[in-house]
Amino acid sequence: MTYTVAVAGASGYAGGEVLRLLADHPEFEVTTVTASSNAGRPLVELQPHLRSYAELVLQETTPEVLRGHDVVFLALPHGASGAITDELDDDVLVIDCGADHRLADEGAWATFYGGEFHEPWAYGVPELPAAGGKLRDRLAGARKIAAPGCNASAVSLAIAPGIAAGIIEEDIVAVLAVGPSGAGKNLKVQYLASELLGSASPYGVGGTHRHVPEIAQNLVLAGAAAPRISFTPVLVPMARGILATVTAPLKPGVTGGQVRDAWESAYAAERFVQVLPAGAWPRTADVLGANTALIGVTVDEAANRVVAVLALDNLVKGTAGAAIQSANIALGLPEGTALTTNGVAP
Ligand SMILES: NC(=O)C1=CN([C@@H]2O[C@H](COP(=O)(O)OP(=O)(O)OC[C@H]3O[C@@H](n4cnc5c(N)ncnc54)[C@H](OP(=O)(O)O)[C@@H]3O)[C@@H](O)[C@H]2O)C=CC1
Ligand SMILES: CC(=O)N[C@@H](CCC(=O)OP(=O)(O)O)C(=O)O
């Protein structure tokens, strides 16, 4: 069967990546692409690397334009999708790459985002441990899916095995090296090459970053009671990629062997989340363009902390790949359709 697909926000980074991956999807046919200020322009003017879509012209992002498709991917700024999703039919599969349908806690939404609150949807990180199973179970048959924040998925996937196994304290410290494409095609001065190159620049420091409540929500799903999360992202000069270093204290008596077992068993059956052999550490260069998250894990004996290091591509496993993987699950298609574990190197 062929599903007709609309991609809203197709002139942006996340929408562009959805399109790049969907070009290899045998069951999805993209018939409509939309934008805002760039509506009316040919898609390839904005996305010159997407040659297979040469015939498509960006339309306005309205419910009327998006209606009539089997699947709609929304890659709009947060706050812009809620009004549109309210107008689409219940049986249409909608995957929102923005934050509007991620949080269940209205208070957290008001604190970290503000504006109108929208109901939470099934969360698009299939491999996350949740209540003895995986979030994948909640995506099967879903028609409304919230794709994750890229930093939130990196931190959550890195540390959730320790929470699910009950072997770490709920006192998480995460420091991330992140590429500027996570911020979208943003014209802010801090994303200029002259500001980024040759520097590492922290932002969202001190518990203020919007992904803190999203990570907490994920870890509660994995079995935490009231996790404390210290989260510090650092912009570094690489176009895309996240390297998350996440640590937490071990509960008394927990051994290195138990840690390795917890991480390996959590992801043993997963194709897109892989735990590296002891002593091996992931690099962002190994996951660029791939839907893979790679994890290295060890115990720092002197500090009595587990140290998990995870690399993913913010635009693939952190957004567009997660969105497509989740859509595949929702429709009962092979989960990895149009997705690869192979990166682009060097
Ligand atoms: N970049 C990343 O790594 C990740 C992004 N996301 C999320 O994906 C979404 C898109 O992000 P990203 O692609 O990075 O952002 P971009 O800024 O690159 O793209 C934004 C897109 O939305 C369109 N747009 C802007 N304003 C409006 C509006 N008011 N109504 C409708 N469309 C509008 C733009 O159109 P035009 O070009 O015409 O202005 C463009 O197509 C965001 O919610 C983001 O948080 C999630 C995880 C990771
Ligand atoms: C470099 C940079 O600014 N990155 C973004 C990542 C955004 C993301 O993951 O998406 P959502 O906004 O949809 O949550 C940030 O840290 O906010």
Ligand 2 centroid to Cα of residue 294, in Å, is: 20
150 is catalytic: yes
Index of the ligand 1 atom closest to the CA of residue 15: 13
What lies within 8 Å, CB to CB, of 42 at 6+ separation is: 54, 56, 57, 58
Report the SS3 class of residue 75: coil
Ligand 1 centroid to Cα of residue 77, in Å, is: 5
pTM listed for this prediction: 0.98
| Mutation to probe ligand 2, out of 81, 210, 215 (largest number of atoms < 8 A from CB) | 210
Index of the ligand 2 atom closest to the CA of residue 99: 13
| Alpha-carbon dihedral sign for residues 8, 125, 148, 318 | negative
Question: What does pLDDT average to over the chain?
Answer: 97
Index of the ligand 1 atom closest to the CA of residue 9: 41
Q: How confident is the model at residue 295 (pLDDT cuts 50, 70, 90)?
A: very high
pLDDT of residue 269: 97
Phi, psi dihedral angles at 182 (to 5 degrees): -60, -25
Secondary structure element (H or E) that encloses residue 243, with its range: strand 242-249
Structure tokens at 203: 């932002």
Asked whether 5 and 72 are in contact (CB, 8 A), the reply is: yes
Active-site position among 150, 235, 293, 312 = 150
Cis peptide before 42 (omega within 30 of 0): no
Count CA atoms closer than 13 A to 164's CA, side-chain side.
Answer: 25
| Alpha-carbon dihedral sign for residues 150, 156, 161, 162 | positive
pLDDT of residue 187: 84
Distance from C-alpha of 10 to C-alpha of 2, rounded to nearest angstrom:
20
Q: 221 to each of 27, 104, 180, 227, 264, how far by Cα in Å?
A: 32, 12, 29, 11, 19
How large is the average pLDDT for residues 68-97?
A: 94
Q: Is 150 in the pocket of ligand 2 (CB under 6 A)?
A: yes
Report the SS3 class of residue 119: coil
Least confident of 37-46, 80-89, 112-121: 80-89
